[in-house]
Chain A
Amino acid sequence: MADEFQASRPIYMQIVEKITQQIARYERMPGDKLPSVREMAIALGVNPNTIQRTYSELERMKIVETRRGQGTFITESGEVLDKLRTKLQHDLLDQFVRNMKELGIKKEEMVQLLTSYLHEKKGDK
Protein backbone atom coordinates (compact mmCIF):
# COMPACT_ATOMS: atom_id res chain seq x y z
CA MET A 1 0.00 0.00 0.00
CA ALA A 2 1.16 3.51 -0.78
CA ASP A 3 2.63 4.03 2.70
CA GLU A 4 1.27 7.47 3.39
CA PHE A 5 -2.32 6.24 3.73
CA GLN A 6 -4.06 4.58 6.63
CA ALA A 7 -5.71 1.37 5.48
CA SER A 8 -8.73 1.77 7.76
CA ARG A 9 -9.92 5.23 6.63
CA PRO A 10 -11.42 6.05 3.21
CA ILE A 11 -8.49 6.90 0.96
CA TYR A 12 -10.47 9.45 -1.08
CA MET A 13 -11.01 11.49 2.13
CA GLN A 14 -7.35 11.24 3.11
CA ILE A 15 -6.45 12.72 -0.28
CA VAL A 16 -9.10 15.46 0.13
CA GLU A 17 -7.41 16.38 3.44
CA LYS A 18 -3.96 16.27 1.86
CA ILE A 19 -4.96 18.63 -0.96
CA THR A 20 -6.83 21.09 1.29
CA GLN A 21 -3.77 21.26 3.56
CA GLN A 22 -1.56 21.93 0.55
CA ILE A 23 -3.87 24.78 -0.43
CA ALA A 24 -3.91 26.22 3.11
CA ARG A 25 -0.09 26.13 3.17
CA TYR A 26 0.07 27.86 -0.24
CA GLU A 27 1.78 24.82 -1.76
CA ARG A 28 -1.03 24.85 -4.30
CA MET A 29 -2.20 28.31 -5.37
CA PRO A 30 -5.62 29.62 -6.36
CA GLY A 31 -6.22 28.97 -10.06
CA ASP A 32 -3.64 26.14 -10.21
CA LYS A 33 -4.53 23.13 -12.30
CA LEU A 34 -4.63 19.80 -10.48
CA PRO A 35 -2.95 16.83 -12.20
CA SER A 36 -5.25 14.64 -14.30
CA VAL A 37 -6.99 11.79 -12.51
CA ARG A 38 -4.60 9.22 -13.93
CA GLU A 39 -1.46 11.28 -13.20
CA MET A 40 -2.56 11.76 -9.61
CA ALA A 41 -3.44 8.05 -9.30
CA ILE A 42 0.01 6.98 -10.52
CA ALA A 43 1.82 9.55 -8.37
CA LEU A 44 0.01 8.43 -5.20
CA GLY A 45 -0.25 4.74 -6.13
CA VAL A 46 -4.03 4.57 -5.74
CA ASN A 47 -7.01 3.54 -7.87
CA PRO A 48 -8.11 6.25 -10.37
CA ASN A 49 -11.71 5.77 -9.22
CA THR A 50 -10.55 6.92 -5.78
CA ILE A 51 -9.03 10.10 -7.26
CA GLN A 52 -12.21 10.68 -9.24
CA ARG A 53 -14.11 10.54 -5.97
CA THR A 54 -11.62 12.92 -4.33
CA TYR A 55 -12.09 15.46 -7.12
CA SER A 56 -15.89 15.16 -6.96
CA GLU A 57 -15.78 15.74 -3.21
CA LEU A 58 -13.50 18.80 -3.63
CA GLU A 59 -15.90 20.08 -6.26
CA ARG A 60 -18.86 19.58 -3.93
CA MET A 61 -16.94 21.54 -1.29
CA LYS A 62 -16.46 24.25 -3.98
CA ILE A 63 -12.68 24.09 -3.48
CA VAL A 64 -12.05 23.11 -7.11
CA GLU A 65 -13.85 23.68 -10.39
CA THR A 66 -13.88 21.36 -13.36
CA ARG A 67 -13.73 23.12 -16.71
CA ARG A 68 -14.91 21.01 -19.59
CA GLY A 69 -12.04 19.67 -21.67
CA GLN A 70 -9.47 21.64 -19.65
CA GLY A 71 -9.21 19.91 -16.31
CA THR A 72 -9.71 20.60 -12.63
CA PHE A 73 -8.63 23.93 -11.12
CA ILE A 74 -8.33 25.30 -7.59
CA THR A 75 -10.92 27.98 -7.00
CA GLU A 76 -9.90 31.63 -7.07
CA SER A 77 -12.74 32.61 -4.76
CA GLY A 78 -11.16 34.37 -1.77
CA GLU A 79 -14.25 33.66 0.28
CA VAL A 80 -14.01 29.88 -0.20
CA LEU A 81 -10.27 29.82 0.52
CA ASP A 82 -10.64 31.98 3.65
CA LYS A 83 -13.34 29.64 4.90
CA LEU A 84 -11.12 26.65 4.19
CA ARG A 85 -8.20 28.12 6.16
CA THR A 86 -10.49 29.11 9.03
CA LYS A 87 -11.87 25.59 9.13
CA LEU A 88 -8.43 23.97 9.21
CA GLN A 89 -7.35 26.33 12.01
CA HIS A 90 -10.54 25.52 13.88
CA ASP A 91 -9.94 21.78 13.50
CA LEU A 92 -6.44 22.12 14.96
CA LEU A 93 -7.68 24.20 17.90
CA ASP A 94 -10.47 21.73 18.46
CA GLN A 95 -8.00 18.86 18.63
CA PHE A 96 -5.72 20.81 21.00
CA VAL A 97 -8.54 21.71 23.34
CA ARG A 98 -9.90 18.18 23.38
CA ASN A 99 -6.48 16.71 24.20
CA MET A 100 -5.89 19.24 26.97
CA LYS A 101 -9.34 18.56 28.44
CA GLU A 102 -8.53 14.86 28.53
CA LEU A 103 -5.54 15.78 30.69
CA GLY A 104 -7.96 17.55 33.05
CA ILE A 105 -6.85 21.08 32.21
CA LYS A 106 -9.42 23.87 32.58
CA LYS A 107 -10.00 26.61 30.01
CA GLU A 108 -8.32 29.42 31.98
CA GLU A 109 -5.30 27.23 32.65
CA MET A 110 -5.13 26.37 28.96
CA VAL A 111 -4.89 30.06 28.01
CA GLN A 112 -2.21 30.61 30.66
CA LEU A 113 -0.20 27.58 29.57
CA LEU A 114 -0.40 28.53 25.91
CA THR A 115 0.61 32.12 26.59
CA SER A 116 3.62 31.18 28.66
CA TYR A 117 4.57 28.46 26.17
CA LEU A 118 4.53 30.93 23.30
CA HIS A 119 6.57 33.35 25.45
CA GLU A 120 9.23 30.73 26.14
CA LYS A 121 9.38 29.88 22.44
CA LYS A 122 9.99 33.54 21.67
CA GLY A 123 12.80 33.56 24.25
CA ASP A 124 14.44 30.61 22.47
CA LYS A 125 14.91 32.64 19.34
Chain B
Amino acid sequence: MIQFQHVTKKYGKDYAVKNINLSLEEGKIYGLLGTNGSGKSTTLKMIAGLVQPTNGEVLVNKKKANRRMAEEVSYLTELDRFYESFTVHDMVQFSASQFNDFQLDKAQELLEFMHLDGDKKIKHLSKGNRGRLKLVLCLARTVPILLLDEPFSGLDPLVRESIVKSLLTYIDFGKQTVVVATHEIAEVEAILDNIIVLNNGDLIANLSVEDLREEKGQSIIEWMKENIN
Protein backbone atom coordinates (compact mmCIF):
# COMPACT_ATOMS: atom_id res chain seq x y z
CA MET B 1 0.00 0.00 0.00
CA ILE B 2 2.67 2.53 1.11
CA GLN B 3 6.36 1.84 0.70
CA PHE B 4 9.49 3.75 1.67
CA GLN B 5 12.58 2.58 -0.15
CA HIS B 6 15.87 3.95 1.21
CA VAL B 7 14.23 7.29 1.87
CA THR B 8 16.33 10.19 3.12
CA LYS B 9 15.16 13.76 3.52
CA LYS B 10 17.52 16.60 4.28
CA TYR B 11 16.67 20.21 5.03
CA GLY B 12 19.92 22.00 4.29
CA LYS B 13 22.57 20.06 6.18
CA ASP B 14 20.13 18.54 8.66
CA TYR B 15 18.62 15.10 8.25
CA ALA B 16 14.86 14.93 8.83
CA VAL B 17 14.80 11.19 8.09
CA LYS B 18 17.69 8.85 7.32
CA ASN B 19 17.56 5.91 4.92
CA ILE B 20 14.13 4.62 5.86
CA ASN B 21 12.73 1.34 4.58
CA LEU B 22 9.14 0.81 5.55
CA SER B 23 6.06 -0.96 4.30
CA LEU B 24 2.48 -0.23 5.37
CA GLU B 25 -0.36 -2.66 4.76
CA GLU B 26 -3.83 -1.81 3.57
CA GLY B 27 -6.63 -1.48 6.13
CA LYS B 28 -4.54 -1.05 9.25
CA ILE B 29 -4.29 1.79 11.76
CA TYR B 30 -0.72 2.91 12.36
CA GLY B 31 0.55 5.14 15.13
CA LEU B 32 3.53 7.22 14.03
CA LEU B 33 5.45 7.91 17.22
CA GLY B 34 8.60 9.68 18.28
CA THR B 35 9.82 12.76 20.10
CA ASN B 36 9.53 16.27 18.65
CA GLY B 37 11.80 16.63 15.63
CA SER B 38 12.07 12.87 15.08
CA GLY B 39 10.72 13.14 11.52
CA LYS B 40 7.03 12.32 11.94
CA SER B 41 5.56 15.27 10.04
CA THR B 42 8.14 14.96 7.26
CA THR B 43 7.22 11.28 6.92
CA LEU B 44 3.51 12.09 6.59
CA LYS B 45 4.17 14.89 4.13
CA MET B 46 6.22 12.56 1.95
CA ILE B 47 3.32 10.09 1.79
CA ALA B 48 0.98 12.97 0.90
CA GLY B 49 3.43 14.02 -1.83
CA LEU B 50 3.84 17.46 -0.26
CA VAL B 51 7.55 16.93 0.39
CA GLN B 52 9.91 15.12 -1.98
CA PRO B 53 12.63 12.87 -0.57
CA THR B 54 16.27 13.90 -1.11
CA ASN B 55 17.10 10.27 -1.85
CA GLY B 56 15.04 7.13 -2.31
CA GLU B 57 11.38 6.68 -3.22
CA VAL B 58 8.01 6.79 -1.54
CA LEU B 59 5.45 4.63 -3.34
CA VAL B 60 1.72 4.86 -2.73
CA ASN B 61 -0.28 2.13 -4.48
CA LYS B 62 2.88 1.43 -6.50
CA LYS B 63 2.99 5.01 -7.79
CA LYS B 64 5.58 7.54 -6.79
CA ALA B 65 4.08 10.03 -4.32
CA ASN B 66 3.72 13.51 -5.79
CA ARG B 67 1.52 16.60 -5.59
CA ARG B 68 -1.33 14.84 -7.40
CA MET B 69 -1.50 12.32 -4.51
CA ALA B 70 -4.48 14.25 -3.08
CA GLU B 71 -6.80 11.90 -4.99
CA GLU B 72 -5.65 9.00 -2.83
CA VAL B 73 -4.72 10.72 0.39
CA SER B 74 -6.69 12.74 2.91
CA TYR B 75 -4.26 14.74 5.01
CA LEU B 76 -5.10 16.42 8.29
CA THR B 77 -2.49 19.06 8.97
CA GLU B 78 -1.25 19.94 12.43
CA LEU B 79 -1.83 23.59 11.57
CA ASP B 80 -5.00 25.33 12.64
CA ARG B 81 -5.70 27.44 9.59
CA PHE B 82 -9.15 28.21 8.17
CA TYR B 83 -10.88 30.99 6.23
CA GLU B 84 -12.13 32.76 9.35
CA SER B 85 -15.17 34.39 7.74
CA PHE B 86 -16.51 31.06 6.41
CA THR B 87 -19.31 29.28 8.24
CA VAL B 88 -18.90 25.57 8.98
CA HIS B 89 -21.19 24.83 6.01
CA ASP B 90 -19.16 27.10 3.69
CA MET B 91 -16.06 25.15 4.67
CA VAL B 92 -17.75 21.81 3.96
CA GLN B 93 -18.94 23.11 0.57
CA PHE B 94 -15.46 24.38 -0.20
CA SER B 95 -13.87 21.00 0.60
CA ALA B 96 -16.54 19.29 -1.54
CA SER B 97 -15.58 21.55 -4.45
CA GLN B 98 -11.90 20.58 -4.08
CA PHE B 99 -12.18 16.79 -3.82
CA ASN B 100 -14.20 14.56 -6.15
CA ASP B 101 -14.53 11.86 -3.52
CA PHE B 102 -15.91 14.19 -0.82
CA GLN B 103 -19.23 12.84 0.52
CA LEU B 104 -21.58 15.64 1.50
CA ASP B 105 -24.02 13.32 3.26
CA LYS B 106 -21.20 11.76 5.27
CA ALA B 107 -19.95 15.24 6.20
CA GLN B 108 -23.45 16.12 7.41
CA GLU B 109 -23.60 12.96 9.50
CA LEU B 110 -20.16 13.72 10.96
CA LEU B 111 -21.18 17.30 11.83
CA GLU B 112 -24.12 15.91 13.78
CA PHE B 113 -21.96 13.25 15.43
CA MET B 114 -19.55 15.99 16.53
CA HIS B 115 -22.39 18.38 17.55
CA LEU B 116 -21.12 21.08 15.20
CA ASP B 117 -23.50 23.85 14.14
CA GLY B 118 -23.24 24.36 10.37
CA ASP B 119 -24.33 27.99 10.50
CA LYS B 120 -21.64 29.08 12.93
CA LYS B 121 -18.76 31.19 11.67
CA ILE B 122 -15.40 29.49 11.99
CA LYS B 123 -13.94 32.46 13.82
CA HIS B 124 -16.55 31.89 16.54
CA LEU B 125 -15.66 28.21 17.05
CA SER B 126 -13.77 27.04 20.13
CA LYS B 127 -10.39 25.41 19.66
CA GLY B 128 -11.94 22.00 20.33
CA ASN B 129 -14.62 22.53 17.69
CA ARG B 130 -12.01 23.68 15.15
CA GLY B 131 -10.17 20.40 15.85
CA ARG B 132 -13.41 18.49 15.34
CA LEU B 133 -14.16 20.34 12.09
CA LYS B 134 -10.73 19.43 10.69
CA LEU B 135 -11.48 15.77 11.34
CA VAL B 136 -14.95 16.03 9.76
CA LEU B 137 -13.38 17.38 6.57
CA CYS B 138 -10.75 14.64 6.61
CA LEU B 139 -13.12 11.72 7.28
CA ALA B 140 -15.82 12.80 4.82
CA ARG B 141 -13.66 11.56 1.95
CA THR B 142 -13.58 8.00 0.60
CA VAL B 143 -9.83 7.97 -0.10
CA PRO B 144 -7.80 4.83 0.61
CA ILE B 145 -5.32 6.64 2.88
CA LEU B 146 -5.93 8.96 5.83
CA LEU B 147 -2.98 10.84 7.34
CA LEU B 148 -3.58 12.62 10.65
CA ASP B 149 -0.86 14.89 11.98
CA GLU B 150 -1.34 15.49 15.72
CA PRO B 151 -5.16 15.37 15.67
CA PHE B 152 -5.36 15.62 19.49
CA SER B 153 -2.82 18.33 20.09
CA GLY B 154 -4.05 20.94 22.57
CA LEU B 155 -7.56 19.47 22.78
CA ASP B 156 -9.35 18.52 25.99
CA PRO B 157 -10.09 14.88 26.97
CA LEU B 158 -13.71 14.99 25.79
CA VAL B 159 -12.77 16.26 22.34
CA ARG B 160 -9.97 13.67 22.13
CA GLU B 161 -12.47 10.92 22.96
CA SER B 162 -14.95 12.15 20.35
CA ILE B 163 -12.15 12.06 17.78
CA VAL B 164 -11.26 8.45 18.65
CA LYS B 165 -14.94 7.42 18.51
CA SER B 166 -15.47 9.10 15.17
CA LEU B 167 -12.44 7.31 13.76
CA LEU B 168 -13.83 3.94 14.88
CA THR B 169 -17.29 4.81 13.58
CA TYR B 170 -16.48 6.34 10.21
CA ILE B 171 -13.34 4.62 8.92
CA ASP B 172 -14.00 2.03 6.25
CA PHE B 173 -12.29 -0.85 8.04
CA GLY B 174 -10.04 -3.21 6.19
CA LYS B 175 -10.02 -0.78 3.26
CA GLN B 176 -8.84 2.59 4.51
CA THR B 177 -5.30 2.78 5.85
CA VAL B 178 -4.80 5.31 8.65
CA VAL B 179 -1.57 6.83 9.91
CA VAL B 180 -1.82 8.95 13.07
CA ALA B 181 1.20 10.96 14.18
CA THR B 182 0.77 11.72 17.86
CA HIS B 183 2.28 12.16 21.31
CA GLU B 184 -1.02 11.21 22.93
CA ILE B 185 -0.21 7.51 23.12
CA ALA B 186 -2.71 6.64 25.86
CA GLU B 187 -5.43 8.08 23.65
CA VAL B 188 -4.76 5.76 20.72
CA GLU B 189 -3.23 2.74 22.47
CA ALA B 190 -6.36 0.57 22.05
CA ILE B 191 -7.15 1.49 18.44
CA LEU B 192 -3.73 0.96 16.83
CA ASP B 193 -2.72 -2.14 14.90
CA ASN B 194 0.93 -1.15 14.61
CA ILE B 195 3.34 1.47 15.81
CA ILE B 196 6.02 3.04 13.66
CA VAL B 197 8.67 4.61 15.85
CA LEU B 198 11.13 7.27 14.71
CA ASN B 199 14.05 8.57 16.70
CA ASN B 200 16.27 11.39 15.37
CA GLY B 201 15.26 10.56 11.81
CA ASP B 202 15.96 6.83 12.17
CA LEU B 203 13.22 4.24 11.90
CA ILE B 204 13.58 2.08 15.00
CA ALA B 205 10.46 -0.06 14.82
CA ASN B 206 7.33 -1.06 12.94
CA LEU B 207 5.61 -3.59 15.15
CA SER B 208 2.19 -4.95 16.11
CA VAL B 209 1.01 -3.64 19.47
CA GLU B 210 -0.95 -6.79 20.35
CA ASP B 211 2.21 -8.84 19.70
CA LEU B 212 4.10 -6.45 21.94
CA ARG B 213 1.60 -7.03 24.74
CA GLU B 214 1.40 -10.78 24.14
CA GLU B 215 5.09 -11.57 23.65
CA LYS B 216 6.76 -9.01 25.89
CA GLY B 217 3.92 -8.04 28.26
CA GLN B 218 4.71 -4.40 27.49
CA SER B 219 2.58 -1.38 26.77
CA ILE B 220 3.64 1.05 24.04
CA ILE B 221 5.01 3.52 26.56
CA GLU B 222 6.98 0.83 28.40
CA TRP B 223 8.51 -0.29 25.12
CA MET B 224 9.43 3.27 24.16
CA LYS B 225 11.05 3.99 27.51
CA GLU B 226 13.19 0.90 27.05
CA ASN B 227 14.15 1.59 23.45
CA ILE B 228 14.47 5.37 23.13
CA ASN B 229 16.94 7.37 25.12
Contact = CB atoms under 8 A, between A and B. Distances in A.
Interface of A: 1-2, 5-13, 38, 41-42, 44-50, 53
Nearest to A48: B173
B117 interface: no
B219 interface: yes
A38 to B, nearest CB: 7
Contact of B213 (A2, A10, A49): A10
Contacts, number: 59
B193 A49 contact: yes
A50 B190 contact: yes
Given A46-B191, A47-B192, A8 B219 contact: yes
Interface string B149-161: 0000000000001
Contacts of A1: 186-190
Chain B contact patch, size range: 20 to 34
Nearest to B187: A1
A105 B7 CA distance: 62
B210 A8 contact: no
A49 B173 CA distance: 9
9 contacts: A8-B213, A8-B217, A9-B217, A11-B210, A38-B173, A45-B164, A45-B165, A46-B190, A47-B192
A10 B219 CA distance: 9
Contacts of B214: 10, 13
B119 interface: no
B17 interface: no
Contacts of A46: 190-191
Given A2-B190, A6-B219, A48-B173, 9 more contacts: A1-B187, A7-B186, A11-B190, A12-B210, A42-B165, A47-B190, A49-B28, A50-B210, A53-B210
A42 B190 contact: no
